[in-house]
Amino acid sequence: MKKLIACSLLFSGAFLARSAGVTIPIEKYQLKNGLRVILSKDNAVPVVTVYMIYDVGARSEEKGRTGFAHLFEHMMFEGSANAPKGTHFAAVESNGGTLNGSTHPDFTDYFEVLPSNKLATALWLESDRMRSLSINEENLKNQKEAVKQERRLSFDNQPYATAIVDVWPTVMYRNWQSSHSLIGSFEDLNGASVADVSKFFKTYYAPNNAALVIVGDIQTAEAKKLIETYFGDIPSQPQPKHPDMTEPPGFQAATKVQKDALARVPGVVIGYPGPKRRSPDYYALHMIDAILTAGDSSRIRQDLVKGKQSVIQYEAELGWPFASALDFRDPEPYAMFILYNPNFTAKQIVDQVQEEIAKLQDTPLDAKELERVKTQIRAGAIKDMQGSLSRAKTLAQYAIADGNPELINTELDVMLAVTPAQIQAAAKKFLTPDKRAVMEIVPAPNPQPGTPGQQKEGQ
């Protein structure tokens, strides 16, 4: 999940194409066991990124097992048959590399960035835990406690975070797969068993449910040989069936007030059900987001932060807060989070934002403003793609979400072709008060132990 409260965020490095004067080299193929492989050679610096993405995230969880995808991400660092606990970190960091993993609504990813002569080390580590993860009672107990502590430190003891993670999904969605807490509850974590973990591993952490991306200073023939050596004999599993995430028809506008004992400044979340991924409206809304929130010249910055001085900080994006435009998958919202001046009310802030949207609905965008926004997008995309890790992440998510990593070389063309008429039409279609969900976050005294809104640990 992206860091909360960061102004003017929102240009995904996904949008990089020939029209920007850059073409990303790509070679893709598939192993016999179904593992998708994407190679992107760049010999500019002696660094390589190995990025493994699994097509399973928090929205694939079952009732009673919330937080399971995140728990399993932690389990993946508990060691494997030939790389005992601690080996993975030691092998990467002792060679000057970095590594991490993260859980998202619709995928889970892991990566290593290393000197290019250590490519084999990263592939061996990733393949060994795909093949033979150490799943036992001790490791599970350790990681249950680690995840609980992470929740306490990163969410339950941070202002706004619990409201956004636990409450906002219930305001925005009605299908449980999307409306449940993506971090999970203590009760559900306590209930997870070794058998549950083993089943999850066998179901989702198979080569045919994953993609391997390698970006950087590689020799293609040698890389392919290493991939076949380490991954080629890992058996595939029956293709997992992902849950139906379709939202019921008839979305109704709603407002919820959530008290937050840790908040010192009031906040408000405003969201609208979003379009299908990679539809014309998807690109138009991405452009609308840039017009409203990206950069010092954006409309919210100029009109609400500097002009009315009603807004203090904000962030917004297709898929906010758990996804980005890059990994946006239907159903996802277009949403924004605003901290505002306490001299204003939440209703006034919502009305002011809606007024900015109404300007887009009522008046075609000026050509000069549109060109400025497109220039920002183009420049930001090129800059973002210079790093091997960001490039690998983009390729991986295109491979998983679209089955087409080559989109990295074409999507910006589509984005930059959006017209003022398309922007106006998308604003009218999606960003209307009758399709708006609102959550007001109100600073409040500490609740008494056991009162609603306070996370309790399961017995």
| 357-371 pLDDT per residue, tens | 999 999 999 999 999
For 106-193, strand residue ranges (E) read: 108-115
Residue 281 has pLDDT above 90, yes or no: yes
pLDDT over 70 for what percent of the chain? 92
Residue 6 has pLDDT above 80, yes or no: no
Average pLDDT, stretch 344-350?
Answer: 98
pLDDT tens digits for range 141-199: 999 999 999 999 988 999 999 999 999 999 999 999 999 998 888 899 899 999 999 99
- In sequence order, which residues have a C-beta less than 8 Å from that of residue 188 and are 6 or more positions away? 64, 65, 66, 67, 68, 458
Output the pTM of the full model: 0.91
Residue 420 has pLDDT above 90, yes or no: yes
Domain 24-231: give its CATH code. Answer: 3.30.830.10
254-443 matches 24-231 in CATH topology: yes
Of the CA atoms within 13 Å of residue 96, those in its CB half-sphere come to 9
Q: What is the pLDDT of residue 449?
A: 52
CA dihedral sign of residues 183, 188, 194, 198: negative
Q: What does pLDDT average to over the chain?
A: 91
Residue 15 has pLDDT above 50, yes or no: no
Average pLDDT, stretch 64-83?
Answer: 94
CB-CB contact of 332 with 246 (8 Å) = no
Inter-CA distances, 231 with 82, 123, 182, 222, 396, Å: 14, 8, 30, 14, 17
Residue 5 has pLDDT above 80, yes or no: no
CB-CB contact of 324 with 101 (8 Å) = no
Give the integer Cα–Cα distance in Å for 425 and 281. Answer: 8
Among 45, 46, 48, 28, residue whose Cα is nearest residue 37:
28
Q: What is the pLDDT of residue 411?
A: 92
pLDDT tens digits for range 93-151: 999 999 999 999 999 999 999 999 999 999 999 999 999 999 999 999 999 999 999 99
Domain ranges (residues) in the chain: 24-231, 254-443
| pLDDT confidence bin for 12, thresholds 50/70/90 | very low
- Which amino acid is it at 9? L
Q: What is the dihedral of CA 363, 364, 367, 372, to 10 degrees?
A: 80
| CATH 2.30.110.10, applies to 254-443 | no
Burial (Cβ within 10 Å: 0-12, 13-18, ≥19) of residue 252: exposed
Beta strands across the sheet bearing 36-41: 27-30, 36-41, 210-216, 47-54, 108-115, 98-103
How many helices and strands, by DSSP H and E, does the chain display?
17, 11
